A = this chain, B = another copy of it.
């Protein structure tokens, strides 16, 4: 591993009085040259938010509202510690560019390494086919681009994505109609996955609603994303599974579950988004 790209691209520098400086890297955009991924913005903000509470490094539940699309370049993160208790600290943050707020966050941070209490998980990991039968989605993007297609989505290049062919029918014009997406994934550069990286994982797939067969849904802007992180992930591939099961008057949720290589639940996520029609 030459460089931990995620750590580098979410680094923040304390400017004093709860203010931090960071930089939005173009490598995390959803479309080449366009808006950075929401989970990446959350992770950058979360790195600033946890700075004043080093005893509580893990975002146990973090909510982001996306106010305006940020652009590549400098950002400021203003962090406010609302409460710091024995087990959790609660913080608010605003990500701004040139004085304009772009993302607002509210979250509770804790220390998952020292969490204690009952455990019982009735949820099941996704039933994925064996890893070696999955499509290398990252390599697939590169092949298409080399063959003269669109440039790959930059964020897809940050991951080693192995996806079942069955969840990619929509890319061939054949959505399953179920509104599912997921697969195995890890950082492509081999960097360790931590609880901030999981915030990106919770938002890194194409929208599950693309597999729902709803017709002319062109883009899916996120209004709000909440990520519960339950555990620091074990090394190895994660298994992620995202579903949209209720589209009502254009509003939709996308629910995510992420499991680590030890078979433990590491993330529960939910976002509210809009099923937007193509712009005229």
Report if A226-B63 is in contact (Cβ < 8 Å); known contacts: A82-B101, A104-B106.
yes
Report if A68-B92 is in contact (Cβ < 8 Å); known contacts: A63-B224, A250-B117.
no
Report if A118-B275 is in contact (Cβ < 8 Å); known contacts: A106-B65, A123-B245, A226-B63.
yes
Q: Does A274 contact B (CB under 8 A)?
A: yes
Smallest distance from the beta carbon of A274 to chain B beta carbons, Å? 7
Name the residue on B nearest A265 (C-beta). B246
Report whether B249 and A119 are in contact in the complex, using a CB–CB cutoff of 8 Å.
Answer: yes
Q: Does A17 contact B (CB under 8 A)?
A: no
Residues of B within 8 A of A116 (CB): 249-250
Smallest distance from the beta carbon of A44 to chain B beta carbons, Å? 18
Copy number of this protein in the oligomer?
2
Report whether B272 and A224 are in contact in the complex, using a CB–CB cutoff of 8 Å.
Answer: no
Residues of B within 8 A of A212 (CB): 120
Contact with B along A112-140 (1 / 0, CB 8 A): 10011111111100000000000000000
Residues of A in contact (CB 8 Å), total 57
Residues of B within 8 A of A42 (CB): none
Q: Does A41 contact B (CB under 8 A)?
A: no
Q: Report how far A107 CA is from B105 CA in the complex, Å.
A: 10
Q: Looking at the complex, which one of B68, B121, B223, B226 makes contact with A60 (CB distance below 8 Å)?
A: B223
Smallest distance from the beta carbon of A227 to chain B beta carbons, Å? 10
Contact with B along A84-126 (1 / 0, CB 8 A): 0001101010000000010011111000100111111111000
Residues of B within 8 A of A101 (CB): 82-83
Interface centre among A118, A250, A265 (most CB of B within 10 A): A118
Residues of B within 8 A of A215 (CB): 118
Smallest distance from the beta carbon of A57 to chain B beta carbons, Å? 15
Name the residue on B nearest A247 (C-beta). B120
Residues of B within 8 A of A247 (CB): 117-121
Report whether B118 and A90 are in contact in the complex, using a CB–CB cutoff of 8 Å.
Answer: no
